Amino acid sequence: MSPPAPTTDDGLIEYQARVRTFVETHVAPKAREIDEAESTPPALLATLRASRYLGMALPREWGGGGIDPIAHGLATEEFGRACSSIRSLLTVHNMSSQAISRIGTSEQRKTWLPALCSGDAIIAFALTEKNAGSSADAIQTSARDCGGEYEITGAKKWITYGQIADLFLVFAQFDHRPISVIVERDAPGLSITPMRGLFGTRGSMLAELGFAGVRVPKSHQLGAPGAGINIVANTALDHGRFSVAWGCVGIIQSCLDASLDYASGREQGGQRLKDHQLIRRLLSDMLVSYRAAKEVCLHAARLRRDRDPRGANETALAKYLASTSAIKTATDALHLHGANGCSADFPVARLLRDANVMSIVEGTDEIHQIALANYALQRPYRSFNVTR
Amino acid sequence: MTTRGGLTNPKERITQYFSRVIPVAIEEDQDIFERGIVDSLFAMQLVAFVEQEFSITAEPTDLDINNFCSISALTRFVERKQMQANPE
C-alpha cells in the first residue's frame, strides 16, 4: 500500500526528502554504471518495482500513490537529478498508465492498473517508427480486422525500456484511422530487439519492436477508433512532457551542484575557480536557469492540479524551456570543468548528453516552437487571470 | 443556471471560447481538426475547457474526437451530458 499522498507544504517537503533519500541510496550511485553499460541493473529494476514510485501518480483506487502533480513533479526532479535513464522509465510507465486510467474502460482499468500501480508490470509507449517521428500520423504499422481480434503488422523503433516492458501501448492504422491497443510481451509474433550505441539516456534499454501478424483481442483497444493519436497518444505525451520537464529541472540542479563543488575546490591562476569573474557568471546563469525552469514547471503543475484548460499548453511550454535550459546549463557546466568535464570521472558529460535527448523526446524543440506559437496566438496571458 | 459573461446557453459560451482562443473565424459545423485549424494539443484543451466551464466529466467513452471537432458537435455533447446529469 502506498503511503498517504502529501497535501500540505510540509508534507511536500517531507515527501521530496523521502524520494531524495531513496534516489541517493539506490539510483545515484548507479548512474555512471547505467550509462556505461547501456543497461539498467536487474537488481535496481526490482528495487524500483518494489518501491511503488512507478505508480506514485496513478490513482489510489487501483493501488497507486495518488500524489498530485506538484508532488509528482518534485519527485521526478529528484530522479532526474540522479539519472535520466531511470527517470525515463518512470516517464514512459506513467504516461502509458495514465492513458489507460483516463481513457480505458472499467474492465481495462481493472485488468491492467493494479499491476501497473504496484510495479508488478511495466508498460512502454510504442508510437515511433523508422519513418514516423514528429509526424505521428505517418505511422505505417497496421491493424487488420480478424473478427474478435486485430492482427498487427509493422515495426516500432526507439521504444524506451522496450527491452524489459511487460506491456506495450501500440499505435497502428486501422481503416485509415489510428487506433491504440495494449499488447502483452509474450504475444506470439512480437519480436524485441535491443538498440545500443545511443548518445544519451543510454541506460533506458531502447528496443525495436517487430509485429509479424500479432493477434490482439479487440478488448485491448484503448479509446474509440480514430482516437489513437488525438486522444490516446496526446494524453500520454502530455504526461510524458510533464515528466521530462521536471527531469530537466533535475539535470539543471545536478549541473549546478557539480559546478559549485568543482569551482569551490579547484584552483587555477592562484585563485579558486569560483573567484574568477567569468566562472561566477556561469554559476549565476545556472542558478537563474534552475529557478526559472522550476517555477515554470510548478506553474504547469498547479494548472494540472486544478484541471485548467491551459494545463497541456503550459506543460509543453515548461518542457521546452526546461529542456533548452538543461542543454545550455550542461554545456556551461562542461566548460567550467575544462578537460575534466569531458571525462567519465565527472557527471557533466553524461548530463549534457542526456539533456540533448530531452529536447527530442515527447516532441522536439521545433515541434514545441510550432505548438507554442499557436498557444501564443491565443494570448493566454491576456485572456485569463494575470496572476496565473 | 450558471452563467459566464452573461451567456446562458452552451452554444454561446462555446462560440465565445472558440472566438477567444482560435485566431480565425469558425463556422458552427466546421471541423477544426480536419482542416488543420488547431493542433493536437487543442483537443486536450477543449476537454479541460468543457469539464471546467460546464462542471461535467468527460468519461472515457466520451473522449471521441467526434465530440470535440466543431462548435455544434461540442454543443451537442455538452447538452447531452447536462441532460444525463439532470434528466428533468
Selected residue with higher pLDDT from B38 and A266: A266
| Cβ within 8 Å of residue A13, ≥6 positions away | none
Contact check, Cβ <8 Å, A224/B42: no
**CA pair distance B36, A51, nearest whole angstrom:** 44
What burial class does residue A116 get, using C-beta atoms within 10 Å of its C-beta: 0-12 exposed, 13-18 middle, 19+ buried?
Answer: buried
Specify the pairing of strand A177-184 against strand A123-126. unpaired
Contact (Cβ atoms closer than 8 angstroms) between residue A378 and residue A292: no
Q: Which amino acid is at A297?
A: C
Question: How confident is the model over A283-333, as pLDDT tens digits?
Answer: 999 999 999 999 999 999 999 999 999 999 999 999 999 999 999 999 999
**CA pair distance A172, A151, nearest whole angstrom:** 10
Joined grid coordinates for residue A73? 513533479
Q: What is the mean pLDDT of residues A360-382?
A: 88
A382 pLDDT band, cuts 50/70/90, is: low
Q: How far is A355 from chain B (nearest CA, A)?
A: 24
Specify the pairing of strand A123-126 against strand A167-174. parallel
pLDDT at A83 over 80: yes
Chain B neighbors of A377, CB-CB under 8 A: 23
Percent of chain B with pLDDT over 70: 90
**CA pair distance A105, B23, nearest whole angstrom:** 36
Best mutation target, B19, B20, B38, B41, to test chain A (most A CBs within 10 A): B41
A381 pLDDT band, cuts 50/70/90, is: confident
Contact check, Cβ <8 Å, A370/B39: yes
**CA pair distance A311, A304, nearest whole angstrom:** 5
Establish whether this prediction's ipTM goes over 0.90.
Answer: no
Sign of the four-CA dihedral A137, A140, A145, A149? negative
Contact check, Cβ <8 Å, B60/A316: no
List residues bridging with A155 in a β-sheet. Answer: A210
Contact (Cβ atoms closer than 8 angstroms) between residue A62 and residue A54: no
Q: Classify residue B36 as left (phi > 0), alpha (psi -120 to 50) or beta.
A: left
User: Quick check: pTM over 0.80?
Assistant: yes
**Closest residue in A to B22 (Cα–Cα):** A378
Contact check, Cβ <8 Å, B39/A231: no
**CA pair distance A79, A58, nearest whole angstrom:** 17
**CA pair distance A337, A264, nearest whole angstrom:** 11
- Over A341-380, what HEC string results? HHCCCCCHHHHHHHHHHHCCCCCCHHHHHHHHHHHHHCCH
Specify the pairing of strand A167-174 against strand A190-194. unpaired
Specify the pairing of strand A142-146 against strand A149-159. antiparallel
**H helices present in A179-229, as ranges:** none
Contact check, Cβ <8 Å, A224/B40: no
Q: How far is A104 from chain B (nearest CA, A)?
A: 6
Q: Which residue has the cell 542543454?
A: A327
Chain B neighbors of A182, CB-CB under 8 A: none
Joined grid coordinates for residue A354? 542526456
| Residue among A234, A375, A377 whose CB faces B43 most closely | A234
| Residue among A230, A307, A383 whose CB faces B43 most closely | A230
Catalytic residue among A38, A314, A362, A366: A362
Contact check, Cβ <8 Å, A105/B21: no
Specify the pairing of strand A149-159 against strand A167-174. unpaired
**CA pair distance A316, A344, nearest whole angstrom:** 32
Q: How far is B62 from chain A (nearest CA, A)?
A: 9
- For residue A169, give the nearest of A90, A93, A91, A66 by alpha carbon: A93
CA–chain centroid gap for A9, Å, is 25
Q: How far is B27 from chain A (nearest CA, A)?
A: 18
Q: Does A364 contact B at CB distance below 8 Å?
A: no
**Closest residue in B to A373 (Cα–Cα):** B39
Contact check, Cβ <8 Å, B21/A231: no
The whole-chain average pLDDT of chain A stands at: 94
- A14 assigned to active site: no
Q: Does A215 contact B at CB distance below 8 Å?
A: no
**CA pair distance A87, A251, nearest whole angstrom:** 11
pLDDT at A216 over 70: yes
Nearest-Å Rg of the Cα atoms of chain B is 12
- For residue A327, give the nearest of A363, A300, A303, A354 by alpha carbon: A354
Q: Does A308 contact B at CB distance below 8 Å?
A: yes
For A119, list phi and psi in degrees, rounded to 5: 90, 0
**CA pair distance A385, B23, nearest whole angstrom:** 20
Percent of chain A with pLDDT over 70: 98
Chain B neighbors of A230, CB-CB under 8 A: 33, 40, 43, 65
Question: How confident is the model over A135-153, as pLDDT tens digits?
Answer: 878 899 999 999 999 999 9
